[in-house]
Structure formats: structure tokens, C-alpha cells
Chains A and B, each alone.
Chain A
Amino acid sequence: MKVAYFSPMPPERSGIADYSALLLPALGERLDVSVVKRGRKRAPRGTDVSLYHVGNNPDAHGWIVDALRREPGVVVLHDYVLHHLVAGMTVGRRDGHGYLDAMEREYGVVGRLLAHGVLDKRIPPLWESRPADFPLASFVLEHATGLIVHSRTVSELVRASGFAGPVWVVPHPAWPVHEIAPVRVAPGPVIGCFGVVNASKRIPELLRATAAVRESHPDVTLLLVGPTSPGFDLERRLQRVGLAEEGLVREGWTDEARLWSLMAGSDVAVNLRHPTMGETSGSVIRALSLGKPLVVSDVGWFAELPNEVALKIPTGDDEVQVLSAALELLVTRADVREAMGISGVELARRGHDLGRVAELYAAALEESAGGAGVADSVLREVSAAAAEVGISGETAEAKEIARRLAEVELG
């Protein structure tokens, strides 16, 4: 079966590009997959089903959503909150009316008025100030024939938004772990945090919590790996909590090999998030594969991780206090780290196995391409048999048959 695959691909610096590079070889063993060149707006001739990877970054995904809007297909929804994407595809293309319309379609007159406020610069851009309140997911969902999501959280959100098509929850695949030379950045316990450095990754809270832990455990080091978001003043914050001189090691963007080595050399992996856009985290998957105990926010997909592999931090008033306690527990208790690490490796092996994920993708795509025809043919045959013996229409018997068909996903 022929699949047209729309996704950012390396060397683009995008988590979804890395994801596709990992997935494609395994998917190619199961299906005839053609990767569509960036910027193309149509699938190759003879395609049975198109697969569109959609995230919140308009530079990486704008062209993909353009193609989706021309030709519906299966969407891999990497983020549920797509306001930034929609803004980029409308306001960013000097199409203010497009933004007004998108906001009105989902949020009515109030949405349109708010959008006017944004365009007139009367209120701050909603994609920066309140994206989670206005996800704008329908901009994409209304063109999707089916959705692949990575979490129950997003599955529930799309259902709540009224999406009626098929939704497949497919785990994020795990990378195979090859021989890695760990890089330890300090002699004492190392708390690693990998990814973009900004407020929504709760870096201010992590800095304060680390500083608190260092009061009783001064040998603890925080390793921050990843680019700093524009406008996030890391230096000032480090000085404020006393981590500017010692206790912190900083690395910007690193290549894949260095990332794995630094993570392997850490004792704890922290991956906090608030607000969540409904995303998963490749860093969390990598940490699981390496057997690192995790500290995550108790939100979205992160909250779905088993308690055996992650300590979950609520995002309320006690966030820093609870985070400090969690970090202190993990830096002082090797037995807890080891137990969590073993569970993490097992979860990566069983739950996020690349072959299994590729098989779930193949199942979703095959169901999407031929499922409606098969469902029709089953219904036709069952209805015809029922009608032949006088069971038809809205009778109780017909309803019973319909109910039983639905129970086994045939109706």
C-alpha cells in the first residue's frame, strides 16, 4: 500500500524531524512509503493514503498543513495546541482575515473580537499569552480523516472538541540505544535537563529548586542542555538564585551523539512543562531508554507516565518545594534511582518499541485507507441477512445487531 509521508526531515532542527528519521525505516518495512519533498503540496500519483505530521511550529509544518487542506488524510497530531501554527500561517503570511476567521470559527464572535485586539495590538498575541485557552486545533482537525496521537490526554481533547473520525493512540517510539560513552560534567550528582530553556519548561522553578537542594547537598550540579528561547534571561535568573558561579553547567544546542552522552552521564533527568500543548517529549523517551529516573510535571502526557519511572510535580503553589524534595530524594537515594531506571528501560522496551510503534502506524494507515469500504461491506452483508428474515429499520433487533457490531469495532 502506498503512503505519502509529509514531515519535516533532518537536517531540520526539529524534534519531529528526528522522530521521522527514527520511524521511517521501520515503517518502510511494512508499507510503500514516499517521503514528500518539503514545499510540495500534493501527494505522488497512486498514493492510497497521506500521512501529515503536524506540530505547532509554522516554519516546519506550514507547508504540510497547506497540503493537508488540499487533500485530507491521516494527521499525526504532535501538539494539541496549534495557535502558534495557525498564527504563523495567517498573520505571519499577512493574512489577518484568515486569523480572524479561524478564531471566529472556533470561538465565535468573542474569538473574532479578541483576534481583532491582537491584530490592532491592543492585547498581547494570544499565541504567546494564552495559547492553551485557544488551541485552534480545528484548523487542522477539520481536514483530518483520522488522527494519530501519542497520549490519552490528546485523544480525549480531540474527542471533546467534536472530532468524530478514528483516533489511534500510538506511543512515541524509542531510539535504539547503542554504545554510549557517558560524559559526566561534575564529580557529584548531576541533574540533567534537556531541551529548550524557557519559562514553560519551568526553568525558573528548576533553578530555585536546585539552589534549595544545594544548600544541604552542595556537590549537586544542574546540567542545562539546549538553546535559550529569545527573551528568556537565563543569566539574570542564575545570579538571582546563586547558580551563576557554581552548581550549573550550561550547553547550548548539541548534536545527537553529544546529547546522548550528556544524558547518559546524568543521574536524574528533569523534564517539566506548564502549560502543556499536549506534546510528548523525545528527551523523556531517551531518558527512559537510558534508565534515568525522571522528574516531570503532572500534566498532559507526562502525567500518564507510570509512577514507577517518574516523580510527578504538581504545577500549583508548592511546585518548587515539591520539586526540591523530589530532586533531593533522587540525588541521595541510589536504590530509588536504580529501581526507577530499571522500570524506565522496561517501559521503553515494551511500550515504546520501534517495531511495535511502526506496526501501530501501519495498522492505522491501512484501516484509514480501506476501513470505510470494509465497514460498508460488513454492514451491507449483515443488514441484507437481517432484512431477509424481516429484521430492518429501527427495530429492537436491528439495534441489538448494531450494538454488537459496535462492540467489536465493526460498526
Chain B
Amino acid sequence: MNVAVLRPQVPFARGGAEIFTDRLVDELRARGHDADLVSVPFKWYPGARVLTQAFLWRMLDLDEADGKRIDIVVATKFPSYLVRHADKRVWLVHQFRQAYDLDGTELGQFGDSPEDRAIRRKVQALDRVALGEATRLFAISRNVAGRLESSTGLQAEVLPHPPQGLEFRCDGYGDFVLSVNRLDRAKRIDLLLEAAALDTGLQIVIAGDGPDRGRLEQIARDRGLDGRARFAGRVSEQELADLYARCLAVYYAPVDEDYGMVPLEAFLSEKPVLTTTDAGGPLEVVTDGATGLVVSPDAGELARAAGWLREHRDDAATYGRAGQILAAEVTWDRAIGRLLA
């Protein structure tokens, strides 16, 4: 089967969606399909640029390529699903959240002017039309499916996908809590730093890079965390697998995250996950007292939870192994089987 995987591209940025779509293409090819990635740059500002850039996808002709019929297109996130195709399947990573749940928050982009309000509504209208055209509609998590239904009335089948293919293993339960994430405000890594400021026994390693790094490093300096908070920056796959293998637990508590691969990666390394009650998608796999600890988004609570895991390493291991069983259920065979059915 000839499958085009569609991914908007923000030049110079790479995150979960890029890892997911690259891997999807590889996994499709490994199963004998002729798969390729189709990408178009995306810029969402200023003003109505979000609409004109989105519209570029509508002008693409993906019925065939160089005389070869494209059987299925798999769109992933806004605005790739604006494409026209007789068999358009959408595996929704997320909508343009600035037009929905992030509107009116510090992460939103639309102001109060009639023009801004109307642009936001046009984005919503694009979603209704384009997602309504899908022959199959999947979402990577219940959280994403729920947002979709409440915003458009459209129902998606929940179809999680496995995380990136690292050499996951467990080398024990070390002294540090690991954060793996892009460094931006919504990922809420400052909460972990504040927890470390309250608990002098808490050591943390922060893997990843991003626009919030300077602010986070300043917080670490201001709180006197030198030596206990290490910013590892962007790490190689090998280094990341090592960090997962050696840490005590993994911290992952963005605000209302779509899904998040990090908890599954932690579980495959037999590590429990520390998260918060408002983290969204991660709560679909992290259960308090079973596969990790779920606390309110408060530095004190987080510090106490991390301290408890240090004192109860057997429980940490039990939670990690329970998570491993859960993560092992999420396979590419199952995901692709449903996607192409």
C-alpha cells in the first residue's frame, strides 16, 4: 500500500510529533508498505497568517505522485489534515491549541480584537470541515480525543503509539529524578526546580533544550541548586537511554499535555513517573500508587513525593515494573493494524 504521512514542519524545531512521524514511516516500510513523509513549513503568526499557511495544505494534490497512486494519507496535526484525499485518515496529535484550550491563557496567541477573535473561529471552522472529511479519525490519547469532541463534536478512536525506539533497560534506582522534555513554560520544569529547593536531598537531571532554558537556569541559580540540578541539554539517544536506566524516577508534568511519550519511555526502563493531577494525557497511564505518584501541582507536594520514592525504592521498582507491563501493550503492530484497517 502507498501511504503518505503528513507532517507540518516548523523549521529548526524537533519534538515528539517529529519523532512519531519519522518512526511511523519507518514502521510502515518495515511492514512492506511504500511510505513517505510529506512536509510543509508552518508559521502561525502574525494575524491571519495561520490561515493562509494552513491553506497551503489544501492546494496539495496527493491523489498520486509521479503516476503512482497514493492509497492513503495519514494526517497528524494542524494544519496537515486540511489536505484533500479520497482516503484521508487522521491520527491526531493535536489541534491548534491556541484556538481552543490555550485561548485566553499566557500560552494563547489571539487577543480580544474582533479580528483576532474571528481568526480563532476560522481555525475552528477549518477543523470542523477538514476533520469532518476524514475517512477514519484517530487520536493519540483520550485527552486529545476529548478535546476534539468538546470542540467540534467529532468523535475519534483512541489509538496510542509507542515511544521512540531507545535501548531501554534498568540499571537500578539511582539518586536523581530525571526530567525529559523540551524546555518551554508549558512543560512546567520550574515546578521540579522549586521542589528541589524545598528538599535538599533531591537531585535532578534535566534533559532537553528550548526557549525556557535561560529562565530555568536562573531559577536554579537563585535557589542555590548548583550541583543538585544538572541541565544536560539535548542528549543523544544513547545518553537518554542511560539516564532512564540509572534514574530513580521520571518527572513529567506539563500542563494538560496531549499524551506524552515520556511516561511510556520511563516505564520501558522500569521507572515510576512523578506527575500532577492537571497533567492531562499522562494521567491515562500514570496511576497514583500503581505506576507512579500523582500529586497536586505544588512544589511541596512534589518534593514530598520524590522524597517518599527515595525512601521506598522497592515500591519505586514495583511501580516501574507495573508500568513496563502497561507500556509493552502499546506496539506498532497493533497501532498500524488499526490505522490501515
Question: Which of A's residues lie within 8 Å of B, judged by CB?
Answer: 1, 48-49, 363, 366-367, 369-371, 373-374, 377-378, 381-382, 385, 401, 404-405, 407-410
Contacts and interface: CB of A to CB of B under 8 A. Distances in A.
Interface in B242-279: none
A408 B117 CA distance: 18
B51 A378 contact: yes
B59 to A, nearest CB: 6
Interface string B26-70: 000000000000000000000111011001001100000000000
> In terms of DSSP, what is the predominant structure of the interface of chain A?
helix
B118 A373 contact: yes
Given A407-B129, A408-B82, A371 B122 contact: yes
Contacts of B52: 378, 381-382, 385
> In terms of DSSP, what is the predominant structure of the interface of chain B?
helix
B223 interface: no
Contacts of A374: 48, 51, 115, 118-119, 122
Contact of B55 (A48, A363, A366, A378): A378
A334 B119 CA distance: 50
Contacts of B55: 378, 382, 404-405, 408, 410
Nearest to B57: A408
A378 B48 contact: yes
Contact of B121 (A371, A377, A404, A407): A371
Given A371-B121, A378-B48, A378-B51, 11 more contacts: A1-B113, A366-B114, A366-B117, A370-B114, A382-B52, A385-B52, A404-B55, A404-B84, A408-B126, A410-B51, A410-B122
B124 A373 contact: no
Contacts, number: 77
Nearest to A382: B52
A292 B307 CA distance: 56
A1 B124 contact: no
Contacts of B125: 367, 408-409
B122 A409 contact: yes
B226 interface: no
Nearest to B120: A366
- In order of increasing CB-CB distance, the 6 nearest A-B pairs are A370-B118, A370-B114, A369-B114, A366-B117, A370-B115, A377-B48
Nearest to B82: A408
Contacts of B59: 401, 404
B112 to A, nearest CB: 6
14 contacts: A1-B113, A366-B114, A367-B121, A367-B125, A370-B113, A370-B119, A371-B118, A373-B115, A374-B115, A377-B48, A385-B52, A407-B84, A408-B125, A410-B122
Contacts of A382: 52, 55
Nearest to A372: B118
Nearest to A32: B112
Contacts of A367: 118, 121-122, 125
Nearest to A374: B118
B207 interface: no
Nearest to A373: B115
A369 B124 CA distance: 16
Contacts of A405: 55, 58
Given A374-B122, A377-B47, A378-B51, A404 B117 contact: no
Nearest to A351: B153
A370 B48 contact: no
A38 B51 CA distance: 40
Nearest to B126: A408
Contact of B124 (A49, A363, A385, A407): A363
A363 B121 contact: yes
Contacts of B116: 370
Contacts of B48: 374, 377-378, 381
B276 to A, nearest CB: 26
Nearest to B112: A1
A49 B117 CA distance: 12
A404 B58 CA distance: 7
Contacts of B112: 1
B126 A407 contact: no
Nearest to B54: A408
Contacts of A407: 58, 84, 129
Contacts of B121: 363, 366-367, 371
B317 interface: no
Contacts of B73: none
A1 B121 CA distance: 13
B122 A369 contact: no
B291 to A, nearest CB: 33
B130 interface: yes
Contacts of A401: 59
B336 to A, nearest CB: 29
A367 B99 CA distance: 14
Contacts of A48: 114
A370 B51 CA distance: 14
Interface in B59-116: 59, 82, 84, 112-116
A369 B112 CA distance: 12
B109 to A, nearest CB: 14
Contacts of A363: 121, 124
